């Protein structure tokens, strides 16, 4: 089997790992990397036996697939260039800054017959994959996603930086169309919201309450899902899960049986890249499609709009 020729655009904190994984995958060969910092590109390329290209057009002449790990504000322009060149694209989350940009990228992928996958890596977290069979039709989601402050990612609001992970996870459970969104946000250290809370009501009656902060004292990534048959609790950091199930006859006092889970240490990014390469080879819909990325972005913008409506605060 001929290996797919891969390139990485942006080899900073996250992009360097895309490069490492393409170089070590049995399904791909890392051909080259490109970065605005030529020295950085040369260093990372040298580590994995790949060429550091001077510019994006030159890289695209030599590859079949690319990972885009540039700042969010550049996702749209870079992905557009790659799709127009007929390259299969894995773009880090969020797919773009604006929904109209995401829509154009989805359409370009269709026009040029390209696979477009969005890097919502929590879908590939081993604990999420382990708990997925236990998730039915939740009626209530509670999510908390916290991180300590870093300048990385602050080119966009915390809703697009962190909360969008949980928005994608909620939407992946098929709660249906959004009916109403209420939200509040707070700017602490950056020029946009660093803390946000959203209450999302779906037409189905399902509700999601999500909290995101990038100015927390310690990191936290947890979600709880409540459904008629019980509940599911997921800790994405420790990769631990709990499933509580109702037991007993309806006429008797309800009891809850609890089962605990511990997932392995597989790297979500590696699983994500493997899935992307498989989708390219099979010409199949990726696990997290461009449409999925666009759906999460659209809800994220409803959250941002609600923050403006109900009040944005400065610390």
pLDDT in tens, 169-223: 999 999 999 999 999 999 988 888 999 999 999 999 999 999 999 999 999 999 9
**For residues 16 and 152, which has the higher predicted lDDT (pLDDT)?**
16
69: in domain: yes
pLDDT of residue 251: 58
Q: What's the CATH code of the domain at 76?
A: 3.40.50.720
Q: What's the CATH code of the domain at 224?
A: 3.30.360.10
> Same domain for 136 and 256?
yes
> Same domain for 105 and 38?
yes
- Give the pLDDT band (50/70/90) at residue 253: low
Structure tokens at 38: 């030529």
> Same domain for 133 and 181?
yes
161: in domain: yes
What stretch of H or E contains 224?
Answer: strand 220-227
173: in domain: yes
212: in domain: yes
> Same domain for 113 and 146?
no
pLDDT of residue 246: 82
> Same domain for 240 and 169?
yes
261: in domain: yes
Question: What mean pLDDT, rounded, does the chain reach?
Answer: 94
- Give the pLDDT band (50/70/90) at residue 1: confident
> Same domain for 144 and 92?
no
Q: Tell me the pLDDT tens digit for each residue of 80-128.
A: 999 999 999 999 999 999 999 999 999 999 999 999 999 999 999 999 9
288: in domain: no
pLDDT of residue 77: 98
In this predicted structure, the answer to whether residue 312 has a pLDDT above a threshold of 60 is: no
**Range of weakest confidence among 23-37, 139-153, 294-308:** 139-153
Domain span at residue 220? 123-267+298-314
287: in domain: no
- Give the pLDDT band (50/70/90) at residue 250: low
Kindly state the average pLDDT of the residues 231-258.
85
Structural domains of the chain, count: 2
Structure tokens at 123: 């879908």
pTM of the model: 0.94
pLDDT of residue 151: 72
**For residues 315 and 295, which has the higher predicted lDDT (pLDDT)?**
295
> Same domain for 113 and 148?
no
**Range of weakest confidence among 5-9, 121-125, 155-159:** 155-159
In this predicted structure, the answer to whether residue 15 has a pLDDT above a threshold of 70 is: yes
| Listed residue (22, 57, 232, 26) closest to 127, CA to CA | 232
How large is the angle between the packed helices 99-111 and 290-310, nearest 10 degrees? 170
pLDDT of residue 238: 97
> Same domain for 138 and 242?
yes
> Same domain for 130 and 261?
yes
Kindly state the average pLDDT of the residues 285-290.
98
pLDDT of residue 310: 74
The set of residues, in sequence order, having a beta carbon less than 8 Å from that of 89 and lying 6+ positions away, is 65, 66, 68, 79, 82, 83, 109, 114, 115, 116, 117
Looking at the DSSP bridge assignments, the partners of residue 34 are 9
> Same domain for 82 and 152?
no
> Same domain for 95 and 239?
no
Strand, helix or coil at 312?
A: strand
pLDDT of residue 190: 81
Query: Look-up: residue for tokens 């009656």?
Result: 205
Structure tokens at 138: 């939740």
pLDDT of residue 154: 67
Kindly state the average pLDDT of the residues 156-163.
94
293: in domain: no
Beta strand 230-235 with 220-227 is: antiparallel
| Listed residue (210, 42, 227) closest to 131, CA to CA | 227
Largest CA distance in the chain: 72
Is the torsion defined by CA of 115, 121, 192, 210 positive or negative? Answer: positive
pLDDT of residue 314: 57
> Same domain for 141 and 100?
no
Report d(CA 100, CA 165) in Å as an integer.
Answer: 20
Kindly state the average pLDDT of the residues 222-242.
96
pLDDT of residue 199: 97
């Amino acid at each position: 089997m001929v290996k797919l020729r891969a390139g990485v655009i942006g080899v900073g904190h996250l992009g360097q790992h895309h490069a490492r994984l393409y170089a070590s995958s049995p399904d791909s060969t890392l051909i080259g990397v490109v970065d605005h910092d030529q020295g950085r590109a040369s260093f990372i390329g040298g580590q994995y036996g790949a060429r550091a290209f001077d510019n994006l057009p030159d890289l695209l002449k030599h590859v079949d697939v690319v990972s885009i790990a540039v700042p969010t504000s550049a996702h749209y322009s870079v992905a557009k260039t790659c799709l127009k060149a007929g390259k299969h694209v894995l773009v880090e989350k969020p797919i773009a800054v604006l929904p109209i940009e995401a829509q154009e990228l989805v359409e370009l992928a269709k026009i040029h017959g390209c696979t477009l996958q969005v890097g919502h890596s929590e879908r590939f977290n081993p604990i999420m994959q382990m708990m997925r069979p236990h998730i039915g039709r939740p009626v209530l989601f509670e999510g908390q996603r916290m991180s300590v402050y870093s300048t990385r990612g602050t080119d966009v609001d915390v809703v697009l930086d962190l909360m969008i992970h949980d928005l994608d996870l909620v939407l992946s459970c098929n709660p249906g169309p959004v009916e109403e969104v209420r939200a509040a946000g707070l700017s602490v250290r950056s020029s946009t919201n660093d803390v946000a809370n959203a209450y999302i009501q779906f037409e189905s009656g399902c509700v999601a309450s999500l909290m995101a902060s990038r100015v927390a004292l310690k990191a936290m990534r947890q979600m709880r899902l409540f459904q008629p048959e019980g509940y599911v609790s997921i800790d994405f950091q420790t990769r631990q899960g709990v499933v509580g199930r109702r037991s007993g006859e309806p006429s008797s006092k309800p009891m809850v049986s609890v089962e605990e889970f511990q997932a392995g240490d597989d790297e979500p990014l590696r699983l994500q890249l493997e899935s992307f390469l498989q989708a390219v080879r099979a010409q199949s819909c990726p696990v997290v499609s461009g449409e999925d990325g666009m759906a999460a972005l659209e809800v994220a913008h409803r959250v941002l709009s609600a923050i403006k409506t109900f009040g944005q605060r400065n610390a």
